Amino acid sequence: MTWMDEFWRLNAVFLVILLSFSFQGAHCELVVSPVVPTLVKAAAGSTVTLAVSFSGAPDPTVTWFKENLPVVTWTIDSSSPPDIAPNYRQVLRMRKDGSLTFVNVTRNYTSNYTMKMTKSGLGTAVTYFTLLVFDNIQNVELHLQPDPVKEGIDDFTLQYVMSQGDVEQQMWFFNAKEIKTDSRYSVEQNSLVVRRPKRSDTGQYTVKLENPFSTVETDMNVTVLYGPDEPILEARPDRPFYLSGDSLSLFCQAEGLPQPTAVWVFGGENLSHDGVLNLTNVQTSQGGNYTCMVLNGQTKEQRQKNMTLNVYERPSGNPVCSVQSVNRNTGLQYHCLWWGGTPLAWLSFPALSNTSSGAGNFNLTVTTSDNLNRKTITCVAVHPVEQNQCNVTASSPVDFLPAVRTTFDLGEGKIVVTIQCVSEASPEAVVSWSKGSEAVISGSTYQISNNTTQLEIRYYNVSSFLLQKYACTCLNPLGSRRREIQLRGPSISDFRLFPNQARTVVTLTWEVPPASVVTGFDIQMKGPNLPSENHNGSQIRGSSNKYRTIQLKPGSARSADVFNLDPDSTYRFRVVPKARITEGKPSEVQILGPGGGLSGPAIAGIAAGIPCSLLFLLLLGGFIYLCVYCNKNKSSRQTRYPVSRAVEKAITAQPDSTPHNLLTGGLKSPPDYNRLHQTPSDRSVALPTFVPPQPVRVATTV
């Protein structure tokens, strides 16, 4: 409202002037006064008059000044026309009362005007006007700087331009709400500045331009570009890890204007351009960092974010535990192995150490202590896909029996005795060998196997073996066991005889004492010649009164079969053990057949009998014998057992009162005579059954 203030100020001035002129008028003073407000506003092209009235003198001279330039001079009521400055003649007209009229006024007439009135002898009167000429506001345009606008640090400016017009007042609006200058907005000469624009500053901006004669509103839609924002990454299905072979999709999205593009990059390759990456049948090689790059195509702003894809695979098989001895048998090294898979399994022995662990293949060395003996140690194997474990138990060597085996080396002509000491232990026991008090060293006589469990001794003569005492010590970090071995000459124990039912075939079995050195056996017989002996003249012929060798068996043999025996004849068998050419003590004699005579105990019993009852006993015995013999002949011929009063231990040991069909059905079967060339490996299994006839038993017990 500045023009109003000015009006009132000028009004006051004129009032003073008017009063002073009136005062002077009373004394014939010249007085001039405006008849319109002294601030005059006019639209361009209109006609406007700065009207005055005067009094005090007739026909004064009037001069109008535009600022300090006199533009019109006229003496009122004179016959000559007003003197108007040449450039102003188009517009300015002088009225008879000295008022000034502007015809078709243009905006360059906006100015302060002063009217001076003079009359010779009466002095000067002055009055002032201000004329404001306004052009119509036309063709207003808004200009945006910069274009496009980006969210962030840059300010943006909206500036109006127009083809013509004089603006008395400008107003700015955002989405129809008036903008006032503050920290965010600044309204300047002909523009609006928006500081640090945000995406929320997107909208319609309006400028309203005003003067007293026209008002124009112009708007512009401003878009603040933004983004890409932080991308949002997602995997579907969402899991902490995937197994090889799974399928999944990765999604990437970011806010922005315009909508940003999203590219998935893995291993330097662009894999998907639309933000969706489908992975089917993933492999462990596809695990790793997937980067999503988002780009605002217009602002060229870009961002990236990683997503770690874990593709796992179970190690194959199961973890394997073992234990070894280290540091010269003073330490134990526990091993745990579960190799392969992705990632490697994490292995530890919590019972031994809760600080050390390893991936895939883990070893832990501990010093030996007694409480580790027979203690089960568990290896805990942790893998994202599966937890597993394995156990291992270290144990000191257990008690054991040395095994002795004798062979004959034909090339060297030496007897080879192999002693084996194997003691169950974990870690495997190492065996040390000694002879007497000296350690045994590998050489031509002694050979220790690579795994130390076996000692080979080679001599020409068996007597060389018998002089020494050998010892083996099985040792591991948890303990040791020692055994002594005193070798013995060739010998036989537990010689037995098993005839078949028809008594035509007999199986001989025997054992060898554990430390005995034996390379072979002679099977000897006394009795009638066998058909085989007659056909092969190679066997020793002789009278049935001398033992002759009928078979040779190797040192490993523990049984022999003799065929084609005459059930009615009597045979005597024995076995002679040999260490090469040295013969050992023959086995005791086993007798088969009727003419065998009385056994030792029978003789002793008879010898101890009461002499007076001898005759009676003989008669009674003969009678029973006859009765049984007749019975036997009557009942069956095919199961004709020879009457033998000298029955071996094996036979008397058999149960006697059970019928033999029950026996064979309920107990172990007799030797299989179709497979006699095979060595019965275990006598307790293939124990032949034989039921002695009742009369025999009666005869022997008498």
What burial letters (b/e) apply to 100-114, b meaning 16+ CB within 10 Å? Answer: bebeebebebbbebb
> What count of other Cβ atoms lies within 10 Å of the Cβ of residue 308?
9
d(CA 657, CA 647): 16
Tell me whether residue 428 or residue 533 sits nearer to ligand NAG (CB atom).
428
Q: How far apart are CA 343 and CA 310, in angstroms?
A: 9
How far apart CA 205 and CA 111 sit, in angstroms, is 35
Q: Which residues pair with 358 in a beta bridge?
A: 347
Q: Does 106 bind ligand NAG (CB under 6 A)?
A: yes
Q: In the complex with ligand NAG, which residue's Cβ is closer, 98 or 287? A: 287
- Helix (H/G/I), strand (E/B), else coil: 390: strand
How is 110-152 classified by DSSP, letter by letter?
A: -EEEEEEEEETTTEEEEEEEEEEEEPPPB--EEEEESSSEESS
Please report whether residue 442 would count as binding ligand NAG according to CB under 6 A.
no
Q: Give residues 324-343 in contact with ligand NAG (rule: CB under 6 A).
A: 335
Nearer to ligand NAG, 31 or 292 (CB): 292
> Which residue from 47, 53, 78, 104 is in contact with ligand NAG, where contact means CB under 6 A?
104
- Between 110 and 368, CB nearer to ligand NAG: 110
Could you say which of 3, 7, 88, 446 contacts ligand NAG (CB under 6 A)? 88
Nearer to ligand NAG, 131 or 651 (CB): 131
3-class secondary-structure state, position 289: strand
Query: Would you say 646 and 590 are in contact if contact means Cβ atoms under 8 Å apart?
Result: no
Cis peptide before 554 (omega within 30 of 0): no
Window 263-302: contact mask with ligand NAG (x via CB under 6 A): x------x-----x-x---------xx-x-x-x-------
Q: Which of 80, 450, 536, 661 binds ligand NAG (CB under 6 A)?
A: 450
CB atoms within 10 A of CB 366: 18
Q: CA 479, CA 4: separation in Å to the nearest integer?
A: 121
Question: x/- contact string, 179-218, with ligand NAG (CB under 6 A)?
Answer: -------------------------x--------------
Closest distance between ligand NAG and the C-beta of residue 110, in Å?
5
Check binding of 694 to ligand NAG (CB under 6 A).
no
Name the residue nearer to ligand NAG (CB basis): 228 or 671.
228
Residue 308 is a binding residue for ligand NAG (CB under 6 A)? yes
Select from 495, 497, 520, 493 the least CA-distant residue to 507: 497
User: Sign of the CA dihedral 326, 329, 330, 335?
Assistant: positive
The answer to whether residue 466 forms part of the interface with ligand NAG (CB under 6 A) is no
Binder of ligand NAG out of 206, 325, 396, 454 (CB under 6 A): 454
Nearer to ligand NAG, 219 or 511 (CB): 219
- Taking the least distance from each CB to ligand NAG, the nearer of 102 and 470 is 102
d(CA 490, CA 461): 12
The minimum distance between CB 438 and ligand NAG, in angstroms, equals 23
87 binds ligand NAG (CB under 6 A): yes
Locus of tokens 């040792």? 475
Q: Tell me whether residue 376 or residue 463 sits nearer to ligand NAG (CB atom).
A: 376
DSSP 8-state symbol, 674 = G
* Residue placing its CB nearer to ligand NAG in the complex, 224 or 263: 263
End-to-end alpha carbon distance in the chain: 164
Output 418 or 551, the one with its CB closest to ligand NAG. 418
Query: Which of these segments, 49-57, 102-110, 193-201, 656-664, binds ligand NAG (CB under 6 A)?
Result: 102-110
Among 7-15, 57-65, 383-391, 634-642, which window interacts with ligand NAG (CB under 6 A)? 383-391
H or E stretch including 459?
Answer: strand 454-459
* Closer residue to ligand NAG, CB minimum distance, 202 or 582: 202
Which DSSP letter does residue 153 get?
Answer: S
User: Residue 507: beta bridge partners?
Assistant: 498, 561
Residue 362 CB, nearest approach to ligand NAG (Å): 6
What string of DSSP letters covers 309-342? EPEEBPPSS--EEEEEEETTTTEEEEEEE---TB
Minimum gap (Å) between residue 515 Cβ and ligand NAG: 20
Binding status of residue 310 toward ligand NAG by CB under 6 A: no
Q: Which two tokens stand for residue 213?
A: 């004669």
Site string for ligand NAG, 346-365 (x = CB under 6 A): ------------x--x-x--
Nearer to ligand NAG, 252 or 591 (CB): 252
79 scored as a contact of ligand NAG (CB under 6 A): no
**If we measure between CA atoms, which residue out of 56, 66, 65, 188 comes closest to residue 122?**
56
Which two three-digit tokens encode residue 375? 């203690």
Q: Is 427 helix (H, G, I), strand (E, B) or coil?
A: coil
Task: Determine, following the binding rule CB under 6 A, whether residue 389 of this chain makes contact with ligand NAG.
Answer: yes
What is the three-class DSSP state of 411? coil
> Of 694, 604, 689, 688, whose CA–CA distance to 643 is shortest?
694
Least distance to ligand NAG, CB of residue 256, Å: 14
| Residue matched to tokens 């995937």 | 242
Compose the 240-259 pattern: x for residues touching ligand NAG by CB under 6 A, - for all others.
---------x----------
Is residue 3 close enough to count as binding ligand NAG by CB under 6 A? no
The piece of 163-171, 385-393, 472-480, 592-600 that touches ligand NAG (CB under 6 A) is: 385-393
Which secondary structure element, helix H or strand E, spans residue 420, and what is its range?
Answer: strand 414-420
Q: Which two tokens stand for residue 615?
A: 């005759």
Strand partners, 586: none
- Could you say which residues in the range 565-604 bind ligand NAG, by CB under 6 A? none
Our finding on whether 112 is near ligand NAG (CB under 6 A) is yes
DSSP conformational letter for 621: H
- Distance (Å, rounded) from C-alpha 82 to C-alpha 63? 10
* Residue 130 in the binding site for ligand NAG (CB under 6 A): yes
Which residue lies nearer to ligand NAG by CB, 37 or 528? 37
- Kindly tell me which of 45 and 655 has the beta carbon lying closer to ligand NAG: 45
CB of 557 to ligand NAG, least distance (A): 21
Query: What is the rounded CA–CA span in Å between residue 579 and residue 680?
Result: 22
Question: Of the two residues 108 and 701, which places its CB atom closer to ligand NAG in the complex?
Answer: 108
SS (H, E, C) 233-273: EEEECCCCCEECCCCEEEEEECCCECCCEEEEEECCEEEEC
Interacting residues with ligand NAG between 30 and 59 (CB under 6 A): 45
Closest by CA to 24, choosing from 16, 13, 34, is 16
Q: How far is the CB of 678 from ligand NAG (least distance, A)?
A: 24
**Alpha-carbon span 649 to 588, nearest angstrom:** 12
Examine residue 101 and tell whether it contacts ligand NAG (CB under 6 A): no
Q: How big is the site for ligand NAG, counted in residues (CB under 6 A)?
A: 40
In the complex, the residues that contact ligand NAG under the rule CB under 6 A are 45, 87-88, 104, 106, 108, 110-112, 130, 204, 219-221, 249, 263, 270, 276, 278, 288-289, 291, 293, 295, 306, 308, 335, 358, 361, 363, 376, 378, 389-391, 449-451, 453-454
